[in-house]
Amino acid sequence: MSKYIFVTGGVVSSLGKGVSAASLGALLQSRGYTVHARKFDPYLNVDPGTMSPLQHGEVYVTNDGFETDLDLGYYERFLGIKLSKHDSVSGGRIYWDVLNAERRGDYLGATVQMIPHVTNKIKEYIAQPTNTDFVICEIGGTVGDIEGKVFLESIRQFANDVGRRNVLFAHLTLAPYLEQSGELKTKPTQMSVRRLLENGIQADILFVRSPRMLVPDEKAKIGMFCNLPAKNVITSLDVDNIYKVPLVYDSQGVFDIMAEHFGLPNAAGDMSKIKKIEQHLNADLPVCTIGMVGKYFDVADAYKSLNEALFHASIQNNVRLKIKKIDAEKFAPEDCNDVDGILIPGGFGSRGVEGKIAAATYARENKVPFMGICLGMQVAVIDFMRNVVGDENANSTEFSKTCTPVIDIMHDCDSENMGGTLRLGAYPCVIKPGTLAAKIYGATNISERHRHRYEVNMEYKDALEKNGMVISGMSPDGKLPEMIEIPSHPFFIAGQFHPEFQSNPFDGHPLFNAFIAAAKKK
């Protein structure tokens, strides 16, 4: 049977529960244990696919095509695991299941109640088998939220069901620092742990977010008020890069606390993979500037996975990454004067699209290394069709009723999920031998994740190819173009998919690694 770690948070939101949860997983993995991760979000949306990135940052997509919270991205990247629709569970989905079961008559006339019906449903999702030594479950929101209460009740029951030594409750709080008195205040942490206790949950380990390390007196005070040994009070130090968090935890003996709780042998972990990232962060390296021509820059985290993938590739290439945010709506060629590479990310709707097309034109004409992602591939094809093939009407039917629909809806639109007609999740792609894509991937059969509605229209394949664009990747049935490139350009490549969802900090991703290598060379 797996052992479970539940991560809750208190005092304020956005303390980094996802990163903390992932870091615990990294510590366990470094001692040879296998780990799975799940996120429970108490809100009432049935899935996060319908939530605005303006509120929640990017929509992450799993291999099985589920649109999830971006925390699942942290788990996949940190832990090198693949998650699915079973691992992102919202309150809305739980109630949806329960109410549908009620309508079907599954409850045989019983009065349907929060306890046991809703709590049992939540426990069912928690307990879905994983074949791993540990399952880490993050509970979204903050202790005290009305929506979260039934989730806390469920994890309390779950610990009682499977045995208290098989479940560890980790709680993340904040110790605000008062500049004037030079004090770190522990009261909010005390209050938060008390609220957790009101729900019958005693925290086993506390992670206290703070701008400096807690001193022994502060740990002892928190331990005394919060009913746990001072050594189980851990400073969750503010750091400038999330990959330092596992090292901060490791240096405070967090694994040993988990080992003691679960009855595991103490062991020193191999943290060398994460230390390599720390070394990269501390090294003196040449700067590589990537111009990202996008439009969601005012939203923190809207390009989360993309920023991560670029950072991962900078580690592989020994360069200091600088991302220059270029507003597509105000694009001017001069914006690209000081960049080493141009990246056009995914996007929806016509706002800013002409600026993105102009950026693709600029990269192509000036031989600046170029990478297009999803919409970024579509605008590269529109530019080529307009300015190389010479058909000025070329456009996507997403943006205009053009008579040259070089980008159009081409796949069957029979999807039942809320994404509607979106092509979602992992699809295979066959790469043409001898192309740049084949060289980069070192393979001719790959799989990448999708989230889009439009595709390159195969009616224009000949026109594009006769003029020097190569369609280097195709869906196996030969119907949907997946990758394009321009062989006469030093590095011009784009994919209809989102490779950023499969990048990790230890190896990067072949496409991003090659793009940064080309930019470095420039």
Can you give the binding site for ligand GLN, defined by CB under 6 A? 346-348, 374-375, 398, 451-454
335 or 398, CB closer to ligand GLN? Answer: 398
Between 91 and 347, whose beta carbon lies closer to ligand GLN?
347
Rg over alpha carbons for the chain, rounded to the nearest Å, is 25
Compute the distance between CA of residue 205 and CA of residue 170 in angstroms, rounded to an integer: 5
Least separation in angstroms between CB 456 and ligand GLN: 10
Structure tokens at 235: 């400073």
**How many angstroms separate the Cα of 397 from the Cα of each of 246, 315, 456?**
47, 39, 11
Which of 20, 307 has the CB closer to ligand GLN?
307
Longest dimension (CA), the chain: 75
The residue (of 42 and 405) whose beta carbon lies closer to ligand GLN is: 405
Which of the residues 374, 450, 452, 485 is marked catalytic?
374
> Given the complex with ligand GLN, which of 349 and 468 has the nearer CB atom?
349
Q: Is 374 noted as a catalytic residue in this protein?
A: yes
Percent composition of the chain: helix, strand, coil (DSSP 3-state, to 5)? 40, 20, 35
- Whole-Å CA distances, 210 to 8, 88, 221, 258: 17, 29, 15, 22
- Measured over the CA atoms of residue 161, residue 165, residue 169 and residue 175, the dihedral's sign is positive
Q: Which CA distances in Å does 92 have to 9, 112, 125, 443?
A: 20, 16, 13, 41
Q: Shortest Cβ distance from residue 484 to ligand GLN (Å)?
A: 14
What is the SS3 assignment for 320?
A: strand
Which residue of the set 36, 280, 498, 509 is catalytic?
498
Query: What residue is closest to ligand GLN based on CB?
Result: 346
Least Å distance between CB 347 and ligand GLN? Answer: 5
Q: Look at the block and give the residue holding tokens 């094809």.
A: 381
Q: Which of 323, 326, 300 is nearest to 311 (CA)?
A: 323
Closest CB to ligand GLN among residues 375, 474: 375
Residue 498 is a catalytic residue: yes
Q: Per the structure block, which two tokens stand in for 139?
A: 């509970």
CB of 97 to ligand GLN, least distance (A): 29
Phi, psi dihedral angles at 390 (to 5 degrees): 95, 25
Closest contact distance (angstroms) between CB of 496 and ligand GLN is: 8
Active site residue 336: no
* Token pair 């539940």: residue: 6
Say how far apart CA 395 and CA 406 lie, in whole Å: 6
Q: How far is the CB of 348 from ligand GLN (least distance, A)?
A: 4
Catalytic positions, written as ranges: 374, 498, 500
